[in-house]
Amino acid sequence: MRILVVNAGSSSLKLRLLDNDDTLLTSEDLAADSVSTGELSAAIERLPETPDAVGHRIVHGGTVYSAPTTIDREVRDQLDKLTALAPLHQPKSLAALDAVSELLPGITAVACFDTAFHTTLSEAAATYAVPREWQQRYGIRRYGFHGLSHAYCSTKTAEIVGRSVNELRIVTCHLGAGASLAAIVDGQSVATTMGFTPLEGLVMATRSGSVDPGLVLWLEEHEHLTPHEVATALEQRSGMLALAGTADMREIETRAADGDDAAQLALDVFVHRLVTGIGAMAAAAGGLDALAFTGGIGEHSATVRNLAAERLAFLGVDIDLVANQSPHADEDISAAASQVRTLVISAREDLQIAREARSLLR
């Protein structure tokens, strides 16, 4: 079953056509505005084969969707109603969904959700200590995101380790422009750092990660900033960009090595939040058997992996410095005597989406 995977992000639209054995038949990365410019239409025309189904990455499934779902008019309308929970991402996913459905009429479309993997969180892990009427009226809870990436990363980790994912305690680190951690026990998410929105948790490229909610209230009350101004600043002008003047981790590492104080502070803040987050995830998992790095930074920053491993030695993490310096895709970089296996996993949300779509349709 050939699956066309459509992954609409905040700045790009990725198309991947996968054959039944997950062979990549074609791959195109388009601009975020490709739906309106006609670029998407041209890309669909260039497909070497007609897909049997289309798998769409949908960021938010709310509490309604906990598994991949065939898209019909009712589902499409329900996804639109969830836009308020993900106003930056959901409209782009739905625009791509509508455009591809029009270009490929009659081809079954499947929604695969970033939030679905985290629907296994316990009530204790998912519940915020806020007024109950907020929880009931507005759906306030921890949803978690990057679920497709965490799910794929955990199963690939188990495959490389040579054990069933159902007998491992894994912490997966999706580190890219957006970043989050997940604690996975017996193949299920038991804790994650992103929450009601993708703003919570780790320091990211332009997002602040967790801040004191009192800070937000203080800025609105004393500096008279509007909610929109605060939200824009925390989402688009914070994180590594605010600390170092750039959101590019490669530039930050280079400048830090050259003695740039701002870049060094940015790197230190990023690693501090990462390490304390991994410690929290390991506690939620009841221990740690494997630590997996994925995403742009997770896969390509030997510096971040090394700094994190040094500070996680108390958990049994020990990496081979030579293997860490230039790992191959999907590689175990653990030191021979390490109690915890540390791996670098290529981010393949497309494979996860294709597999979920095939599983549903079969």
Retrieve residue 131's tokens. 């007024």
Q: In the annotation, is 332 catalytic?
A: no
Closest by alpha carbon to 294, among 180, 140, 164?
180
HEC string of the chain equals CCEEEEEECCCEEEEEEECCCCCEEEEEEEECCHHHHCHHHHHHHCCCCCCCEEEEEECCCCCCCCCCEECCHHHHHHHHHHHHHCCCCHHHHHHHHHHHHHHCCCCEEEEEECCHHHHHCCHHHHCCCCCHHHHHHHCCCCCCCCHHHHHHHHHHHHHHHCCCHHHCEEEEEEECCCEEEEEEECCEEEEECCCCCCCCCCCCCCCCCCCCHHHHHHHHHHCCCCHHHHHHHHHHCCHHHHHHCCCCHHHHHHHHHCCCHHHHHHHHHHHHHHHHHHHHHHHHHCCCCEEEEEHHHHHHCHHHHHHHHHHCHHHCECECHHHHHCCCCCEECECCCCCEEEEECCCCHHHHHHHHHHHHHC
Q: What are phi and psi of 308, to 5 degrees?
A: -65, -45
Q: Which of 114, 289, 330, 350 is catalytic?
A: 114
Bridge partners of 340?
Answer: 317
Close Cβ partners of 241 (under 8 Å, ≥ 6 residues apart): 205, 206, 247
Distance CA 48, CA 50 (A): 7
Q: What amino acid positions are annotated as catalytic residues?
A: 114
